[in-house]
Structure 1
Amino acid sequence: MEQRQLGRTGLRVSHLGLGTLTWSRDTDEHEAREQLRDFVEAGGTLVDTSASYADGGAEELIGSLLGDVVAREDVVLCTKAGVRSAASGGGADASRGGLLSTLDASLRRLGTDHVDLWLVQVPDPHTPLSETVSALRLAVTSGRARYVGLSNHPGWQVARAATLLADDVGLAAVEVEYSLLERGIEREVLPAATDLGIGVLAWSPLGRGVLTGKYRRTIPADSRAASPHLAGFVQPYLGSQSLAVVEAVATAASGLDCTPLEVALAWLRLRTPITSSIVGARTAAQLRGSLAADDVELPEEIVRALDEISAPQLGYPERR
């Protein structure tokens, strides 16, 4: 599997990352073990998780597998903080205290003294960005994180954080949703990251599973869209607006004798500003389907057709 430089840092990550959103909830220890083994054997290195996934359960499961299935030094471990769980409902907490205490808890669950990449998961409208950035700086200077970044932040915040960290720590990465069904980052975030030398990690490169084509006719009983805690996550892409893109991907797959999943990932692999696409699979069999996409090459005419049908709407001030 191709290894790519993360922005202008010295960190290299695999162009496919292993997402763990479902681990310890929909993905049990046996399936997680098999996924991690297959991923590393295929040359994968980037393992992406968060303190908020299964309320820390995903991190605990990863921690139990490190040193057993794979050596800690053989993976690039990325986790996120900044989402607070509470009985009254969750919310953003990117305060210095909230972030650093979450990082310490993540390290305990993961069974390691540092993570390779630590991200603030969502913007916090109640905390000054300068305070959030101070926690990122302290995470690096204290040795708890090797590199830091943001996730799901708008372009202006990415640029501002990069400016505040420019003299010493640097902003290594931004993790954002990006796929043929969601290309909104092309308006502001992607140009900012490209200009500032920040690596881009794409989460949900399969459009929350919709680009696999599994929802073209119905909602499978064992799918995320039928899951009580993930149905709302998939629902936005089940409408008519997404249908034309999904059908175009399915048509291309039929002509190339491959799967829609492979077409979607092959298209994203060609988007040069994207360092790594993070694929989350419920089962090891599903993950192997994503790993197989490395063998698919898209003809230029298909790439152009997919570009056109999925192009994001631009308006003022991006286009006048």
Structure 2
Amino acid sequence: MIASNPLISATGRHDISPTSDCLTAQVAGLGWRTMEHRHVGRTGLRVSRIGLGTMTWSRDTDEHEAAELLRDLVAAGGSLVDTSASYADGGAEELLGSLVGAVVPREDLVLCTKAGVRRTADGPTVDASRGGLLASLDASLARLRTDHVDLFLVQTPDPRTPLEETASALRQAVLSGRARYVGVANHPGWQVARLAGLLDDVRDHVGLAAVEMEYSLLERGIEREVLPAARALGAGVLAWSPLGRGVLTGKYRRTVPADSRAASPHLAGFVRPYLTGSASAVVDAVVTAASGLQRQPLEVALAWLARREGVAAAVVGARTSAQLRGALSSLDLELPDEIEQALDDVSAPTVGYPERF
């Protein structure tokens, strides 16, 4: 059982601070829901419990659907919108930038973008150098039509660039006013800790605010090192792909729908790792729990993640407004303890030395 690991909370719950606010709004077709806002780690940055991912924007999600997604998010009290310079080679940022201000006010959003993967003639190249990161940030700001982002993340580790140089670029992003907070995505625990140390300076208080990682009932690897490190260092966790790349919706149990990511020529490889026997056992447990609660499987999956200590937000990569509304419908679901424990057990990651000694 996960609770036996001394590095992982026995309850796995997220303690809500007294200053967290609940914004209530009516979303078409959903009735009344509450959107909780959480502090990102020990920073003053607050984000909505459910954020909107834009990986499919300008490719599978057009401007009309994207506009509706933004409206629904804000109508539900949501604020976090997550994008990247690498999504559709900047197309996602460009589409988002065309909608901010025109569809929803900039001040209603917490914009998070990522850098560190750039397109070259030979294909995508990892580049977390000072020049690469700051040039990417400038280009992102131009596409987003804003003078700053609320959160700027390094998208992936760069083995060729010293962490000291990457940290200096993150510090410059904040001190220049181009980013309010900084962090990393998809980095191992030791790099999270090292970068947090490099950014920890009482003279400028930049700090490492956030760690964005894949986290769901089908991918709990961050519980071994990254999640404990983030908690100890005061960084908040943003969970990408909280629905297991769509598999936790249960739609792949019998077939691959023609309009799904698994049937898409550019996203099939993204979904394929979770179309396995071991993943099916977890999905079956989620579907069983959902049936007993008279809810949808994705609601159960998101409600489970919402109780994990240290998680500030689940970033849902909804392609359509209908998918986002499905995610928003999870906001009022509180899992019974016995169901949460059963899901913990069936999805428990392998933990051994040195995490458990």
Q: TM-score range by the shorter chain?
A: over 0.9
Amino acid at match of 2:74: V
Q: Does 1:179 align with 2:216?
A: yes
Unpaired segments ≥5 residues, structure 2 = 1-34
Distance 1:281 1:188 in 2: 28
Deviates more, 1:119-128 or 1:78-87: 78-87
| SS of 1:85 mapped into structure 2 | strand
TM-superposed CA distance for 1:217, in Å, is: 0.3
Tell me the SS of whatever aligns to 2:123.
coil
* Alignment-derived partner of residue 275 in structure 1: 312
Aligned twin of 2:148: 114
Partner of 1:48: 82
**Equivalent position of 2:249 in the other structure:** 212
- 3-state SS, counterpart of residue 264 of structure 1: helix
Partner SS state of residue 160, structure 1: helix
State how far apart, in whole Å, the 1-side matches of 2:295 and 2:46 are.
29
- Which secondary structure state, in structure 2, belongs to the residue aligned with residue 4 of structure 1? strand
1:155-190 Cα distance to aligned partner (Å, 9 max, x none): 000001001111131000000000000000000000
How far residue 91 of structure 1 moved from its aligned partner, in angstroms, is: 2.2
Identity percentage of aligned residues: 76
Whole-angstrom CA distance in 1 between matches of 2:120 and 2:194: 30
Shift of 1:305: 0.1
Aligned partner of 1:26 among 60, 67, 84: 60
Partner of 2:296 in structure 1?
A: 259
CA distance in 1, matches of 2:236, 2:322: 29
Counterpart Cα distance in 2 of 1:87 and 1:308? 46
**Aligned-pair CA distance for 1:86:** 1.9
TM-score, reference length from structure 1 = 0.99
Counterparts of 2:179 and 2:215, CA distance in 1? 25
- CA drift of 1:315 comes to 1.4
Residue in 2 aligned with 1:190?
227
What is the correspondence of 1:217-296 to structure 2 with a 5 Å cutoff? 217-296=254-333
2:335 is aligned to 298
Whether 1:314 and 2:351 are equivalent positions in the alignment is yes
SS of 1:13 mapped into structure 2:
strand
Counterpart residue number, 2:29: none
Give the RMSD, CA atoms, in angstroms. Answer: 0.7
C-alpha distance after superposition, 1:27-57 (max 9, x if no partner): 0001000000000000000100000000000
Please give the secondary structure, in 2, of the residue aligned with 1:277: strand
Question: Which residue of structure 1 lines up, in the alignment, with residue 10 of structure 2?
Answer: none
Give, in whole Å, the separation in 1 of the partners of 2:82 and 2:51.
7
Q: TM-score, normalised by structure 2?
A: 0.89
Once residues 34 and 251 of structure 1 are traced to their aligned partners in structure 2, the CA distance between those partners, rounded to angstroms, is 32
Deviation by residue 1:48-78 (Cα, 9 ceiling, x = unmatched): 0000000000000110001111111110000
Unmatched runs of 5 consecutive residues or more in structure 1: none
- CA displacement 1:81-107 (0-9 Å, x = unmatched): 000212322121001101110000000
Amino acid at match of 1:117: L
4+ runs deviating over 3 angstroms: none
Q: Distance in 1 between matches of 2:190 and 2:121?
A: 32
| Other-structure match for 1:74 | 108
